[in-house]
Amino acid sequence: MVRPIAVAVLALSAIAVIPDSVNAQRKGLVDVSPPHFRHGFWLEGSLGWGEEQYKFANDPYTQTLGKPTFGLRLGGTVGPHLRLGGEWNIWSNNYQNLDDLNNPVDVNETLNAILAIARVYPTKGLGLFAKGGVGLGITHAGVEYGNSTSETGLAYSAGLGWEIKLGKEIFFTPAVDWYWSSYEQRGDDTLYEKLFNVSIAVTWQPGR
């Protein structure tokens, strides 16, 4: 009689333990990362306003010229404190000028930066980051029905931003950036250009 009772007690004990074990497994799968935790692939598009200046050699910089900017960035996440990727940022100036016959023609000027970038996040649980980049600068000027010129040179950048979480995969990212570039491919003095850019972006980070 004792043996059947002991078997029954052991069986009931096992049944009581199983739900706790299942719950423990489920708890182990719960996402407990902070809201700004960074991971995997990321993609970002931005619109902004850029103040451009240029100079030749030792001349002073020109007055600032403010025009719209567009940016595209993508990359991967090394860890919660570091993202690496690539960036294309373009500043564009469109205006009308007169040709040799005093006819109005459209002129387009652009300043491009194609960079390898790193974003460093000092705090794991916040979206604040510092950014640096280095790569290729391209300055271009084109005239309607006329010639166009382009030059390439060294470009680099520095900036600050903040990723503000809007949803599981979406961040709103305001930022300020400084871009510098130099061009030495002409017979004239070296051309230096710089751009101060304020932008707002949408950052997409796919789910785990």
d(CA 6, CA 82): 58
Q: Domain range holding 200?
A: 42-204
Tokens 């990723």 belong to which residue? 163
Same structural domain, 101 and 18 = no
Is 35 a member of any domain?
no
Is 37 a member of any domain?
no
**pLDDT for position 100:** 67
Is 52 a member of any domain?
yes
Same structural domain, 77 and 4 = no
Same structural domain, 11 and 87 = no
**pLDDT for position 99:** 65
Same structural domain, 26 and 53 = no
**pLDDT for position 148:** 77
Same structural domain, 81 and 181 = yes
Q: Mean pLDDT in each 10-residue stretch from start to end of the chain (208 residues)?
A: 42 39 45 63 97 92 96 95 97 79 80 98 93 96 78 96 92 97 84 97 86
Same structural domain, 95 and 169 = yes
pTM to 2 decimal places: 0.78
What single string gives the DSSP state of each residue in 66-124?
EEEEEEEEEEEEEETTEEEEEEEEEEEEEEEEE-TTS-EEEEEEEEEEEEEEEEE-SST
Same structural domain, 87 and 112 = yes
Is 191 a member of any domain?
yes
**pLDDT for position 180:** 98
Same structural domain, 21 and 63 = no
Specify the number of domains making up the chain.
Answer: 2
Is 92 a member of any domain?
yes
Considering only the C-alpha atoms of the chain, give the largest distance between any 2 of them, rounded to a whole number of Å.
Answer: 117
Same structural domain, 120 and 17 = no
Same structural domain, 86 and 137 = yes
